[in-house]
Every structure is written in structure tokens, then in C-alpha cells.
Amino acid sequence: MSETSEIAVAAPVSPGRAKFLRFLVRDAGVLLALVLIMLFFSATAPYFATSGNALKIFVQIAINTVLAAGMTFVILTGGIDLSVGSVLALCTVVGATVMINESLSPAAAITLALLACMATGAVCGFLNGWISTRWKIPSFIVTLGMLNMAAGAARVVSDNSTITGLPQSFVDFGNLIIGGFLPSIFLVAVLVIAAGWFVLRFTVFGRMIFAVGTNDEAVRLSGHNPDFYKVAAFTISGLTAGIAAMVYLLRLNIGSPIAGVGYELNAIAAVIIGGTSLSGGKGSIIGTLVGACILQVLSTGLQLLGVGDNFKPIVIGLVIVLAVILDAYRERLLRRIR
Amino acid sequence: MDAILSLEGVGKTFPGAIALSEVSLSIARGETHIILGENGAGKSTLIKLLAGIYQPDSGLIAFNGQPYRPKTPHDAQQSGIRVVHQELNLLPYLSIAENLMLENLPRRAFGIVDRKALNSRALVLLKEVGLDIDPRIRVEALGVAQMQLVEIAKALSYDSKLLVLDEPTATLTPPEIERLFSIIKRLKAKGVTIIYISHRLHEVFEIGDRVTILRNGRLVATRDLHGLTVPDLVRMMIGRDIADEYGFDASIVLGKVALSVANLKRDVSTPDISFAVRHGEILGVAGLVGSGRTEAMRALFGADPKLDGVVEIDGKPVAIAAPKDAVRHGLSLLTEDRKGQGLLLDMAVDKNITITDLSKISRNGLLNRKTEAAAANDLVGQLRVKASSIEQAVRNLSGGNQQKVVLAKWLFRGTSTLILDEPTRGVDIGARREIYQLLWMLAARQKGIIMVSSDLPELMGMCHRIIVFSKNKIVGEVPRSDFDQERILSLAYQEYVRP
């Protein structure tokens, strides 16, 4: 008999109200934080509340959002993927190499490049998952290895140089702002999030991701193979790293072996700020999108306020720690409501 | 009466729940006082108040005539009250001696630990609890029973005036319990006051002087144990009579063999085992903790690797390499570690139930939440799971209701043979009875049931037949007509006694 079982005795909150409270505490909390931060900068920072600035933020969060979408799957299963930054670098050079092949028409080159990026990323992710489940090695270590291997492979493929000269139509699409407010690359990010949301919420596969992260042994003894879902989560993370590489190419128009340094940490930060628990089983991909927004809004806002580049990381670091502390409190609150 | 501890109108409220209300009680110096109550009756809260983990909202506690208001467990220990919690709090990677003396390690100059003094003092403490073991051994190498004794030795090392034991026998076998009782009696003779909490009603008569019964956070009665009977205690605990706890159903007709296991060998050092269970039969599996009962069931189910052996279901041999094979062939395993291996604790009741077969609530990989809710509600109703809704997290249910959720998830899948490992451990009397009834309902539906339990009266009450494990071997099979506690126990010990 534990403390929690005694709390459950009375079950004081009606189901309908509990549902609403749960939504408020679990999902709306991060969103509220984002709104408050935006209000703060709107009031204090010149130019923050302008459409130009909003566009800039949309453009800047695209890559991190795509990476963080895949990362959400991995963290939900209780793993971590440190390799996405350098996998992204590898994919940019692979994609760019394919795209500048002059024997192909631009349309064919772009399509092939997209497929090559996604395939490269997925293979890296699959290897992460397969190695860590097959030999029961913590994913922290395996993906740390992959971080180095993919970075090395990116140098080999690109011969240690930056690849330029992407097709003009591709570059134009990257600069496109649909309807004057929706940058094409942000649209890509939103589509990836929407796909992830659908899978996690409405499919058997999504349910299994949460279940494996909650208790993989119970899942195994219930007649499933939890390793399949772990490998799948890593493969998805690799896949989104490949898509993020295409977004990188759209935005910066170069394939670079030194791209993506530190991106994995931003992606993890977005996931955690978004309320997904590092121990797995709990979280939401919409939260991840909001988390990515919070990171970028902070960064942009602080810059507009004139906070120097030296102090900015300190503030952002504090916010990440604060988010995790709030998460612990949120857990306690949720237990009382449930 | 010389009271060492007295409570006056003590109450404790949690958000939305009253855990203890107006409890007044006095414990006499030197007595062994039993506290009984179902899960949620307030026993744990009471203990945590004494241990300094919670503080009361109202009322007064006096210890040795002084007001007693511990703010932390450390304060409680300083005052001379020591609690041995149900969950053991030892550090597995330190030695026994280090665990015993952790808060007061003997030191030499420069703060270096004096190993010699440490180990010799530890040896004295271990002797006190009748544990003949090298204090330099790491705690992780010990069995649960030994850990329990180390905890008690640790409590004694602080010269405690009042020792609180929270369900110390939950994981012990009968002879281990005997030994624990003789230690308790010795402590009592030395003048230590003991508060003893247990679920096992039969055992409290042997050591207790008086008993206090809690129900729904209130004190029902404090009585002399002498002259009371088990049914008396049950009546006070649940507020009504329970006629026959087990309700053996003699009308069930046993069918053909549902599951048979031949020459199952786990690894090179363990002997082959063979057994079978028929449709409609409840087969008991007895043996000491660590006698290979659980391990055999896990190997059969594919949860752990096995070397060799043939498993037949309804006469047909089946290959079981992983739990998914076993589940596909209609086997279900309710593990002894319900929380660690049976449940998705932070997920809702419905999601726990449907996890065994999501294809029933989905089409083309898409979940149908309505079908899921209907199926879950149906089973929750059938099994009378007490939850605020099917969306409640399983973590917040009581032990008995959690066990019902585990049963529900296997019923959802549809099963032909169930293997239950310690199905009523940590489950209170009321829910226990309901679980027995469910098992009889399943037996009546011609399921084969294998029931592993350390509670011998439970096995003798429920089973058609009992097989007995001793040192990884099946040493005997006893039909219901020959059930006899002594005989089954001597079988369980057989392989350990012989040279």
C-alpha cells in the first residue's frame, strides 16, 4: 500500500473535470508558457511583434522541429538519439551530391536526392536501434558512436568540402513563402509534426511506442516484441534526420560535412521542454513543436533585447532546466488528478 | 498500563482523501501489538507518521511521555523508533556490515573506516538475529529473507525502544517465518516494544499480545488477541462475515489435458521437470522461494531461455521461444512482480487491458477508441475493478484491483491456460476473495489454471492437486484427498535437507 493508493480512495474529481484539468496541466502548460514568453517580448523588445520577425522565426525553427519530431519517438520509447546532427550532415552531402548530378533532369535529381537523404538517414537510425537492442547497449553509447561515424562518413562522401550548385528550382522552392506568411520549409516541418501526431495518437503502432516506453518487460510478457518498436523509433528518427537534411539544403543551399553540429542537443531540448519524459512513455509531439518554438522565440527575443551572445546561452540553459523542474511538478499534479 | 506510545485523535488528510481520522491508541511498554486492516485502511499512513515521513494534521502523539513530532525519519530514529518498511531499504552494492553501520561507521584517524571494528560489530548484530553469515558479503547476494533479517539487525543497532515491522513475512517461507518469530519473541523478552503489521491473519496469534484493527482510516477496535479467532478478525476488518474464503467448487468436471510439459530443462545444472494441467483444473505449485517454481513457469512461457523440453497444448506440441509464441497458443502468465512486469503503471486501465491484442480494437492499424472503451468497460464490470473510470492510471489502483486488471487483460486476449504466480500477494482479503471467485469462474469455463503460491493454506483451499518444487526439482505430487501441510512442507524441504 503506497501513498498514491490512499489518494485514490476518494477520487474527488469528476471524470469530465479531471479530463479538462489533465489537458490543462499536461498539454496546455507549455503552450501557455510560449504565449507568456511571446507577450513578454512583444512588450519589451522592439520589432519582436512584427510579421517579418514571425517569418524569420518560422524559417529558423524548421530544421529543429523536424529533427525533434523523430527524436520524440525515440525518447518516448525510453531511448535517446545523439547522432541526428551528424546524420543530418551526412545526408546533406549525400543529397547535394545526388542533386548536382548533371546527367539528371532537375526534377529527377531532386526526387532522387530526397529518397537518398531519407534512405541514408533511415539506415543510420536502423543501425542505432538494431545495435542497441541486439546487444542490449544503452542507446546513449550507440548513438554517440554513430555521431562520430556519420560525421566521418560525411567527410568521406564530400571529400571534406562544401557542395554547392544546387538546381535553381530547388533553391527557389526553399525561398518560397506561401501566401506571404508560410515559408515552404516551415510547412514541411508542420507536415512532419502532423504525420507524427497522427501516428502516435491514432495507430496501433503509436500505442505500442507509448507502451514500450512505459514498461517494455510488461509489453514483452503480453506477447509482443518490444525491440521491433524500439528499432522502428530509431529508424524514424534517422528518417526525420534525412528530411531535416533536405530542409537544410532548401534553406542554406549547400551540402556540408560540418553541418548539424550540436543540433541533437537542440532537438532533445525541444522534446523535453515540450513535456516528453526522458524516462519514456509520456509526452506529446505537439508539445515538441511548442518546445521548438519556445527555444527559438527565446533566442530571437533575447537578441532583439540586446542580450549579448555570451549571455543568451545562459538564459536558454536555465529555461531548459526550469522546464524539467516544471515537468516533475506536473507529474505530481497529474497523479492527483488521475 | 505503562504506555510507551500513545496517540490522541490523530488524523491525516491527503488532497481529496482522509487517510486517518481520529485515531486514539496506546501501546504498552514491552508488548507486541498487531495492526490489521485491508489495503487503504490507513496502516501505511499510521506507520509513516511514526517513521517521520508524514506529519499528522491533527491530534497528538506521545512517546515515552514526551510529545513526539518527528519531522524526518532521522528524527524518529533519534527518538528510538525504528521502522522496517515493507520495501527493503538496503544498498545492494555495499557489504552487510556497511549497510548495518552506514549511519555510524567506526572510524580511525583521518576518517578512514575501521574495517575490523566494522565487521566484528556487524557480526554481533547478525548473531542477534540468528543470521550466520559473513558480514563482508555484498547485500545483493542475499535472499529476500536474509535481507529482511539484516534490516531488523540494522534496526537493533540503534538501540531502538520501539520497532515497527511492516509486513515482514510477505515474502518469507514458513521456516523463515518461524525463525523471524523466534527473534521477535527474543526481542520481546529483552523488553523491546514491537508494532507488527501483517496481512496473514493466521500468524499473528503466535506473536501478538493485542490487536488494533483499522478500517477506512478509522480505528475499529483494540482487543486482546487471546480468545479471538481468525473469523473474528476478518469480521472486524471488513465489517462482515466471510464464510469460506476459498470456495472450492467440487462440481467442476475436469476435461482433457490442456497443457503438458515434458522434460523441461532450463540449463545444464537444473534437472528435467514434467507436469500437466487439465481443462477445468486448478493445479497448485508449492515450494520455497527460490526453489525454481517461478523460473520453471517463466521458461515454459518463453520469458526466459530454456535448453530443452516439449510443451504440448491440447495434445499438440508447440514451439515456444518467446512470450509471443506462448500468447499465440493461448497461454497467459500473471507474473509475481505485478507492477514491474505485468502492468503499464502510468497508462490507463483500458490501455492496459487491450495491450494483449490490439488487433481486436483496430482496423488497418488504426485504433478504434470506441470499441476499446466498450471492451474495457465490459471487463471492468465483469471483474468488478474499482476504478474511477477506465481512463484512470493503473498506478493509482489498489493491489487487488491492479491484479484484476492483469486478469482482465488476459481475458481480453482469450486464453486457454493461465499461469498465476503469487496472484494474491499484497492483495487484501476482500479483493482476494473476489480473485478466488474469478478463478473458479474460469475453471468452470474449462480453462486450465496453474497457481504458484507461497501461501500454503491458499493452495490447499484452491487446488485439485499440488506439485511441490524443491531445489529446482519436482519432488512430489499430492492429490486433494491427501492435502496435509506437514507433508507438503517436508516435500518442499526434501532436497535441501539431504546431503
Residue A10 has pLDDT above 90, yes or no: no
Could you report the per-residue pLDDT of B254-305, keeping only the tens digit for each?
Answer: 999 999 999 999 988 889 999 999 999 999 999 887 889 999 999 999 999 9
Q: Percent of chain B having pLDDT more than 70?
A: 97
Distances (CA, A) of B132 to A228, B289, B321, B495: 48, 19, 41, 21
CB atoms closer than 10 angstroms to residue B338? 23
CATH 1.10.3470 at A58-291+322-337, yes or no:
yes
Could you report the per-residue pLDDT of B116-154, keeping only the tens digit for each?
Answer: 888 888 998 888 877 888 999 898 888 777 888 888 888
Q: Are B272 and B263 in contact (CB under 8 A)?
A: yes
Q: Which DSSP helix (H) or strand (E) runs through B115?
A: helix B115-128
Q: How confident is the model at residue A12 (pLDDT cuts 50, 70, 90)?
A: very low
Cβ separation B40–A6 shorter than 8 A: yes
- Residues A96-120 have a mean pLDDT of 95
Cβ separation B15–A336 shorter than 8 A: yes
Q: If you average pLDDT over every residue of chain B, what do you get? A: 88
Residue A300's Cβ-side half-sphere holds a number of Cα atoms within 13 Å equal to 26
Residue B449: what pLDDT?
A: 97
Name the CA dihedral angle for B121, B124, B126, B131, rounded to a multiple of 10 degrees: 140
- A interface with B, Cβ–Cβ < 8 A, is 1-13, 15, 18-19, 202-208, 210-211, 214-215, 217-225, 281-282, 335-336, 338
Residue B240: what pLDDT?
A: 62
**A53-67, A165-179, A305-319, B38-52: least confident range:** B38-52
Residue A201 has pLDDT above 70, yes or no: yes
Residue A146: what pLDDT?
A: 97
**A285-289, B136-140, B170-174, B315-319: least confident range:** B170-174
Which residue, among A3, A9, A209, would best test binding to B if mutated, counting the most B CBs under 10 Å from its CB? A9
ipTM: 0.88
Cα–Cα distance measured from residue B256 to residue B242, given in angstroms and rounded to the nearest whole number: 33
Contacts of A62 (CB under 8 A, 6+ apart): A183, A185, A186, A188, A189, A247, A251
Question: Which residue, among A255, A229, A220, has the nearest Cα to A98 in the 3D structure?
Answer: A255
Cα–Cα distance measured from residue B361 to residue A81, given in angstroms and rounded to the nearest whole number: 32
Cα nearest neighbour of B42 on chain A: A6
Cα nearest neighbour of B216 on chain A: A9
Cβ separation B39–A5 shorter than 8 A: yes
Out of B44, B365, B392, the one facing A203 most closely (by C-beta) is B365
Q: How far is B56 from chain A, CA to nearest CA, in Å? A: 14
Q: Are A157 and A32 in contact (CB under 8 A)?
A: no
Task: Give the fold, CATH level 3, of B257-497.
Answer: Rossmann fold (3.40.50)
Cα nearest neighbour of A198 on chain B: B366
| B contacts of A222 (beta carbons < 8 Å) | 323, 327, 355-356, 409
Cβ separation B393–A335 shorter than 8 A: yes
Which residue, among A26, A220, A221, A335, would best test binding to B if mutated, counting the most B CBs under 10 Å from its CB? A221
Residue B233: what pLDDT?
A: 85
Q: How far is A234 from chain B, CA to nearest CA, in Å? A: 20
Higher pLDDT, A2 or A100: A100
| B contacts of A76 (beta carbons < 8 Å) | none
Q: Which of B53-57, B130-134, B374-378, B391-395 has the highest mean pLDDT?
A: B374-378
Which residue, among B347, B353, B371, B407, would best test binding to A if mutated, counting the most A CBs under 10 Å from its CB? B347
Residue A89 has pLDDT above 80, yes or no: yes
Distances (CA, A) of B102 to B99, B139, B144, B289, B466: 5, 13, 20, 29, 44
Residue A26: what pLDDT?
A: 65
Cβ separation B396–A5 shorter than 8 A: yes
Q: Percent of chain A having pLDDT more than 70?
A: 91
Cβ separation B16–A12 shorter than 8 A: yes
- Residues A209-217 have a mean pLDDT of 96
Higher pLDDT, B132 or B415: B415
Cα nearest neighbour of A338 on chain B: B392
Cβ separation A221–B303 shorter than 8 A: yes
Out of A5, A13, A204, the one facing B362 most closely (by C-beta) is A204
Residue found by looking up cell 476482500 in the block: B430
Q: How far is A230 from chain B, CA to nearest CA, in Å? A: 17
Under 8 Å CB pairs connecting chains A and B tally to 138
Residue A2: what pLDDT?
A: 38
Q: Percent of chain B having pLDDT more than 90?
A: 47
The set of cell numbers assigned to A316 is 536558454
**A25-29, A129-133, A255-259, B455-459: least confident range:** A25-29
**A13-17, A78-82, A313-317: least confident range:** A13-17
Residue B44: what pLDDT?
A: 82
- Residues A316-330 have a mean pLDDT of 82
Residue A6: what pLDDT?
A: 36
Cα–Cα distance measured from residue B482 to residue B316, given in angstroms and rounded to the nearest whole number: 31
Cβ separation A215–B345 shorter than 8 A: yes
The set of cell numbers assigned to B233 is 478478525
Cβ separation A223–B343 shorter than 8 A: no
| B contacts of A203 (beta carbons < 8 Å) | 362, 365-367
Residue A9: what pLDDT?
A: 38
Cα nearest neighbour of B320 on chain A: A223
Out of B40, B393, B398, the one facing A338 most closely (by C-beta) is B393
Cβ separation B40–A281 shorter than 8 A: no
| B contacts of A1 (beta carbons < 8 Å) | 39-40, 43-44, 398-399
The CATH number for B3-80+160-238, chosen from 3.10.20.740, 3.40.250.10, 1.10.10.10, 3.40.50.300, is 3.40.50.300
Residue B498: what pLDDT?
A: 55
Q: How confident is the model at residue B242 (pLDDT cuts 50, 70, 90)?
A: low
Cβ separation B323–A222 shorter than 8 A: yes
Which residue, among B39, B43, B358, would best test binding to A if mutated, counting the most A CBs under 10 Å from its CB? B358
Q: Which DSSP helix (H) or strand (E) runs through A56?
A: helix A51-76
Could you report the per-residue pLDDT of B169-228, keeping only the tens digit for each?
Answer: 777 777 778 888 888 888 888 888 999 988 778 888 889 999 999 888 889 889 998 888
User: At residue B253, what is the residue type?
Assistant: V
| A contacts of B341 (beta carbons < 8 Å) | 215, 217-218, 221
Q: Which of A5-14, A187-196, B183-192 has the highest mean pLDDT?
A: A187-196
Cβ separation A223–B395 shorter than 8 A: no
Out of A1, A10, A225, the one facing B39 most closely (by C-beta) is A1
Q: Are B14 and A335 in contact (CB under 8 A)?
A: no
Cβ separation A281–B344 shorter than 8 A: yes
Q: How far is B460 from chain A, CA to nearest CA, in Å? A: 27
pTM of this structure: 0.79
Q: Percent of chain A having pLDDT more than 90?
A: 76
- Residues B163-172 have a mean pLDDT of 82
Q: How confident is the model at residue A16 (pLDDT cuts 50, 70, 90)?
A: low
The three-state secondary structure class of A75 is: helix
Residue A286 has pLDDT above 50, yes or no: yes
Q: How far is B250 from chain A, CA to nearest CA, in Å? A: 32
Cβ separation A225–B344 shorter than 8 A: no
Cβ separation A1–B40 shorter than 8 A: yes
Cα nearest neighbour of B38 on chain A: A1
Contacts of B48 (CB under 8 A, 6+ apart): A3, B54
Cα–Cα distance measured from residue B429 to residue B288, given in angstroms and rounded to the nearest whole number: 23
Residue B446 has pLDDT above 90, yes or no: yes
Cα–Cα distance measured from residue A189 to residue B130, given in angstroms and rounded to the nearest whole number: 67
Residue B499 has pLDDT above 50, yes or no: no
